[in-house]
Structure 1
């Protein structure tokens, strides 16, 4: 019989158990699987935010979002779609019931043990598929799983739970979808267009500077470098706005600083209004990069 057997909620940063379902099962295989679950809970931050692990006749599934992880053990034939829908429902209720400050300040294990009541009720619902048929759009959930399937942990991953290596960390780099950025806003689009315009103007002036050097050897080649560096900085700001990157805000400030330095060097070739325009656009683009942060909320399963 396919069913959910156990579920728990933990804090991602240190694996502190916050709540769990009451365990009535004494099966040795299940108890061994729960040991794997305990090990996983302490390493959630090092894995993608949606994973599955097969351990004998049981499957372990977990998701993490906003610093909280949701884990479950189910029988191997339990539908994958329903498993992650179950976890998503736990996530929704937990985040509505408890605020982030309270979660982060929890010191004792199972500080939110009263959440067990909701876990038990949800388990009963998901162990009775007939009660779910009118409440869940299976087609939408199936599509979500196909578009972004859970990462399948291997026995190698399991053996590294108690000794996580740097090479394993690089293996998961970039998998987690919480690196997706927030939706693009109109000011952000305007900032990108203006940055591209500034980059194009710098590129055009750089080409003209090269032509001047070819015609007159006394021209300063450093002007060409300044124009091209300004172009690169403007385009790089567009890239930082569009895509997630490590140290993204710092990189945007460095790009803005480069824009300022290039325009300071080119003060003899530009009037004050032109310099002010380029610097203002650079500052505006930097602000938009800072405002467009990575998404913290996990995707919606349309439950």
Structure 2
């Protein structure tokens, strides 16, 4: 069952809790996840303004704005778009209700605990998606998450906070982000990249054969052909899989394709070089356009 379990409002600069929901969920997994709230609260100033942390069968999502962070704990199958709509509602209500000067000067934990009444009412609505009256905003949030997905925090980034049990890699796997669906132009770029890789591979074998037959073939040409093959295949890999620094890697790979074709200027005519470079640029563009997507919601928006 997908549910929001708890939520809290925390000051970013020092992690001071300003308000929190009063929950009666006492399972071991939830109690352990709440310990991560404290660890995250101490690191909010170092993290992006929209993040997700997966801990076992639960997700911790939060957004930060104007020095205040709004955090929530939910089950792993709770739709991401609903999670961040829920946090946005908390943010709007908190900013409207309380003077930011008071939040900045607060010294006592939970000095805005009365905000829990709004948290509880909002949580009940979002735990019953059919009762939501703001579905028109969900489509906007889904688009925003697709264009700017939340930063996925890894457990290793949090270190080993005091009081937390040893984390088993088998028990807690990093969340896998899916890419947006493949388009026709993306398929074309993938096929053309494979074609360029195959052409480079064939020419590389021919250059190797010529070198072995002592026909004066330069060994550096062999390296350039095989590097070109590797670059084309790596572009295909980047197009299919979501990896860290994906866009930067795609630009560096395209640069390698350009360098290899510049070096092979004497062995290829201008049209061949133009074809390889154009395919490389086209594939780089498709990699850039195929960005990670948020978790798919469990209902139509």
Q: Give the TM-score category using the shorter length.
A: 0.5 to 0.7
Q: What is the DSSP-based 3-state SS (H/G/I as helix, E as strand, rest coil) of the residue aligned with 2:179?
A: coil
**Aligned to 2:183, which of 182, 185, 188?**
185
Q: What is the DSSP-based 3-state SS (H/G/I as helix, E as strand, rest coil) of the residue aligned with 2:218?
A: coil
Give 1:235 shift.
0.4
Give 1:253 shift.
1.6
Give 1:283 shift.
1.1
Give 1:197 shift.
0.6
Q: What is the DSSP-based 3-state SS (H/G/I as helix, E as strand, rest coil) of the residue aligned with 1:49?
A: strand
Residue in 2 aligned with 1:91?
84
Residue in 1 aligned with 2:72?
71
Q: Residues 118-160 of structure 1, C-alpha deviation per residue, up to 9 Å, x if partnerless?
A: 5322455699xxxx69879xxxxxxxxxxxxxxxxx9xxx993
**Aligned to 1:292, which of 290, 293, 297?**
290
Give 1:204 shift.
1.0
The 1-side partners of 2:240 and 2:275 are apart by: 22
The 2-side partners of 1:14 and 1:293 are apart by: 33
Give 1:239 shift.
0.8
The 2-side partners of 1:86 and 1:289 are apart by: 26
Residue in 1 aligned with 2:149?
none
Contact 2:224 2:260 in 1 (8 A): yes
Contact 1:196 1:234 in 2 (8 A): yes
Contact 2:70 2:90 in 1 (8 A): no
Q: What is the DSSP-based 3-state SS (H/G/I as helix, E as strand, rest coil) of the residue aligned with 1:217?
A: coil
The 2-side partners of 1:86 and 1:63 are apart by: 12
The 2-side partners of 1:232 and 1:207 are apart by: 14
- TM-score w.r.t. structure 1 length? 0.60
Give 1:96 shift.
6.4
Q: What is the DSSP-based 3-state SS (H/G/I as helix, E as strand, rest coil) of the residue aligned with 1:176?
A: coil
Q: What is the DSSP-based 3-state SS (H/G/I as helix, E as strand, rest coil) of the residue aligned with 1:266?
A: helix
The 1-side partners of 2:124 and 2:171 are apart by: 34
Contact 2:80 2:297 in 1 (8 A): no
The 1-side partners of 2:56 and 2:230 are apart by: 42
Give 1:234 shift.
0.5
> Over aligned residues, Cα RMSD in angstroms?
5.0
Structure 2 unpaired stretches of 5+: 105-109, 133-154
CA 1:260–1:118: 2 relative to 1, 3 Å? same
CA 1:220–1:174: 2 relative to 1, 3 Å? farther
The 1-side partners of 2:11 and 2:275 are apart by: 47
1:49 matched to 2:53? The reply is yes
- TM-score w.r.t. structure 2 length? 0.60
Contact 2:231 2:253 in 1 (8 A): yes
Contact 2:4 2:72 in 1 (8 A): no
Give 1:231 shift.
0.4
CA 1:212–1:283: 2 relative to 1, 3 Å? same
What count of residue pairs does the alignment treat as equivalent? 246
The 2-side partners of 1:86 and 1:264 are apart by: 48
The 2-side partners of 1:18 and 1:173 are apart by: 29
The 1-side partners of 2:5 and 2:222 are apart by: 68
Give 1:274 shift.
0.6
Where do residues 202-221 of structure 1 align in structure 2 (5 Å cutoff)?
Answer: 202-221=200-219
